Amino acid sequence: MKIIGNIIWLLLGGLESAIGYFTGSLALAVTVIGIPWALQTFKIGLLCLWPFGSTVTRGDRPAGCIRIPMNILWIVCGGFLAFLSHIFFGLLLCITVIGIPWGKQHFKMAGLSLAPFGKNVNLSF
């Protein structure tokens, strides 16, 4: 079932979202200072490619003091807008009964796009 859900996801907008995140990741990686944020946008892009069956977990490394300021800077510089867009599309999809599984995937991405530093994406194929 998750393979069918992922294929439908990719055909109806997931691929375009992933390409947008990957393009943003490449733009951030051009500068040396943007590489940490590029890794996070790449992580969200991977989740956009294959959300059904994938999980978002806390990182296995101990929490460092840099994670909190990086997440705050992320939120201020566009993470909150990404969070709101995923919440909006998740609510829009949950209006219909058939769209609830896809809405839940948007809510998963909303949680990751709000504070991606310190989280891992575990893809399940």
From the list 30, 121, 24, the residue with the least C-alpha distance to 79 is 24
What pLDDT score does 78 carry? 87
68-106: pLDDT as tens digits: 888 899 899 888 999 999 999 999 989 988 989 999 999
Q: Which helix (H) or strand (E) holds 55?
A: strand 55-58
**Are 48 and 109 a contacting pair, CB within 8 Å?**
yes
Number of domains within the chain: 1
In this structure, is the dihedral angle defined by the CA atoms of residues 15, 21, 24 and 29, taken in order, positive or negative?
Answer: negative
Domain that holds residue 11: 2-122
2-55: pLDDT as tens digits: 889 889 888 888 889 899 999 999 999 998 899 989 999 999 999 999 999 898
User: Per-residue pLDDT averaged across 55-71, rounded?
Assistant: 80
Beta pairing partners, 55? 122
Q: In the predicted model, is pLDDT for residue 125 greater than 80?
A: no
